[in-house]
């Protein structure tokens, strides 16, 4: 009885051990829930990568927010100026210190509004200092400059340029009753006001280059006085005291507009050069601007083709300053 009892016990223990331990030849199969937990992060990584790629494109960023942020000059008539008393309408996406289109008027403003319209977004304007605009490295504070900026090799180091939307002549202006100057050459060595960082300053310094133009400098050794904007220089010149300034070099339409407003100035001689004015983009942008720049070029070229820019030029300047810009060989910029 004892031996048989021990034998039964041993047999039962062996059976229990076999039941508890699977055979080593049978591979373990991972549970379905474990597979699901492993796969989920892979899906999330793909989605994050796709989203990241989208946010690296400036055009995608602009369309997502529905706003085109445009830098321009707040005191540069007839190109651009603030409208006194204008109100920001309800529902506008412009925020902070951004201005809506109704708060500005001028040729540049209307051109910029039309570009935004053709892109299907709302235009919002900001007014940084001109030297900040031309210097590049905008850090995303605005997307584009539509502020009568001339294309120059020096500026192309920091900025991309669009197809020009118009051209303008640069001319000298003096006080109306000043009889000391009868020709431009007589301004050599005199006090001449310009906007700081503008092509007018480069012209007087003898360093101006404009694609497609031959620049002949006829004023030498000028005592150059830089201003925040052209109109500030013209206001000093209009005082007529001969202490602050002897002359101002600016865009012909700007000087003529100042005279039409009743200021005692006159043009001296013929324009000294012509420049092509374009929209500008930041080369240092952290977002890829290629698609956006292409869209803007398409819009400007269409505005030339359908006569929109010619009509705006005649409205603000009384003459066609746009058509010559349409013939500019944009491919030669090699940006």
Higher pLDDT, 4 or 119: 119
Between CA 274 and CA 254 the distance in angstroms is 14
Are 151 and 296 members of one domain? yes
Burial class of 86 by CB neighbour count within 10 A (0 to 12, 13 to 18, 19+): middle
The pLDDT assigned to 191 comes to: 97
Beta strands in the chain (DSSP E): 67-71, 75-76, 80-82, 99-100, 104-105, 122-126, 144-150, 159-161, 166-175, 191-195, 223-227, 247-251, 265-282
Query: Looking at the structure, do residues 259 and 127 belong to the same domain, yes or no?
Result: no
214: confidence class by pLDDT, cuts 50, 70, 90: confident
When pLDDT is cut at 50, 70 and 90, the band that residue 17 belongs to is very low
The reply to whether 228 and 302 lie within a common domain is: no
- Whether residue 158 is found in the same domain as residue 298: yes
288-321 residues labelled b (16+ CB within 10 A) or e (exposed): ebeebbebbbebbbebbeeebbbebbeebbeeeb
Given 259, 275, 291, the domain boundary residue is 275
Q: Are residues 203 and 264 in the same domain?
A: yes
Confidence of residue 90 (pLDDT cuts 50, 70, 90): confident
Query: Is 2 within a domain?
Result: no
Structural domain ending residue among the three candidates 234, 249, 275:
275
pLDDT of residue 281: 98
Q: Specify if 29 maps to a domain.
A: no
Per-residue pLDDT, 332: 73
- Residue 329: band (very low, low, confident or very high) from pLDDT cuts 50, 70, 90: confident
Which residues does residue 145 pair with via DSSP β-bridges, in sequence order?
Answer: 71, 280
Distance CA 153, CA 150 (A): 10
Residue 282 backbone dihedrals phi, psi, to 5 degrees: -80, 120
Range of the domain at 282: 58-86+94-167+277-333
Q: Which of 204, 189, 314 is nearest to 253 (CA)?
A: 314
Q: How far apart are CA 78 and CA 297, in angstroms?
A: 23
- Both 125 and 111 in a single domain? yes
> Is 294 domain-assigned?
yes
> What confidence category does residue 268 fall into, taking pLDDT thresholds of 50, 70 and 90?
very high
pLDDT, average across residues 8-30: 41
CB 303 within 8 A of CB 241: no
For residues 119 and 243, membership in a common domain is answered with: no
Does one domain contain both 262 and 284? no
User: Does any domain span residue 182?
Assistant: yes
- Which DSSP category does 121 fall into? S
The verdict on residue 138 lying in a domain is yes
CATH code for the domain of 269: 3.40.190.10
Q: Is residue 219 part of a domain?
A: yes
Residue 215 lies in a domain: yes
Question: Please, is 271 exposed, middle or buried when counting C-beta atoms within 10 Å of its C-beta (0-12, 13-18, 19+)?
Answer: middle
The mean per-residue pLDDT over the stretch 120-130 comes to 97
Q: What's the predicted TM-score (pTM) here?
A: 0.74
Query: What whole-number distance in Å separates Cα of residue 175 and Cα of residue 236?
Result: 10
Last residue of a domain, one of 275, 305, 325: 275
- 37 in any annotated domain: no
Per-residue confidence (pLDDT) for residue 41, from 0 to 100? 37
Same domain, 175 and 270: yes
Shared-domain flag, residues 98 and 143: yes
CA distance 317 to 150: 18
Same domain as 150, residue 229: no
- CA dist., res. 220 & res. 203, Å (int): 10
What is the number of domains present in the chain? 2
Whether 187 and 128 map to the same domain: the answer is no
From residue 145, give the alpha-carbon distance in Å to each of 134, 135, 148, 247, 307.
Answer: 9, 12, 9, 28, 22
Smallest CA-to-CA distance from 59 within 311, 291, 317, 322 is with: 291
């Amino acid at each position: 009885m004892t031996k048989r009892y021990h034998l039964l016990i041993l047999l039962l223990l062996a059976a229990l051990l076999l039941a508890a331990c699977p055979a080593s030849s049978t591979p373990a199969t991972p549970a379905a829930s474990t597979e699901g937990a492993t796969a989920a992060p892979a899906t999330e990584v793909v989605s994050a990568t796709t989203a990241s790629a989208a946010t690296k494109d400036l055009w995608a960023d602009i369309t997502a927010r529905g706003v085109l942020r445009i830098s321009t000059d707040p005191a540069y008539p007839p190109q651009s100026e603030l409208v006194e008393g204008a109100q920001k309408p309800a529902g506008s996406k412009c925020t902070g210190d951004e201005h809506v289109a109704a708060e500005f008027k001028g040729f540049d403003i209307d051109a910029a509004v039309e570009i935004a319209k053709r892109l299907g977004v709302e235009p919002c304007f900001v007014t940084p200092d001109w030297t900040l605009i031309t210097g590049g490295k905008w850090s995303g504070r605005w997307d584009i400059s539509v502020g009568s900026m001339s294309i120059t090799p020096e500026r192309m180091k920091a900025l991309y340029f669009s197809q020009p939307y118009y051209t303008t002549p640069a001319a000298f202006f003096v006080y109306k009753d000043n009889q000391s100057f009868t020709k431009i050459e007589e301004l050599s060595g005199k006090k001449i006001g310009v906007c700081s960082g503008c092509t007018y300053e480069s012209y007087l310094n003898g360093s101006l280059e404009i694609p497609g133009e031959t620049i002949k400098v006829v004023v030498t050794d000028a005592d150059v006085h830089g201003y925040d904007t052209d109109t500030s220089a013209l206001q000093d010149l209009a005082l007529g005291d001969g202490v602050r300034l002897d002359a101002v070099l600016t865009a012909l339409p700007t000087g003529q507009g100042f005279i039409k407003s009743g200021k005692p100035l006159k043009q001296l001689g013929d324009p000294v050069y012509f420049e092509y004015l374009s929209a500008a983009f930041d080369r240092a942008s952290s977002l890829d601007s290629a698609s956006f720049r292409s869209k803007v070029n398409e819009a400007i070229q269409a505005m030339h083709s359908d006569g929109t820019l010619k009509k705006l030029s005649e409205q603000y300047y009384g003459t066609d300053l746009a058509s010559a810009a349409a013939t500019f060989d944009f491919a030669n910029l090699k940006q």
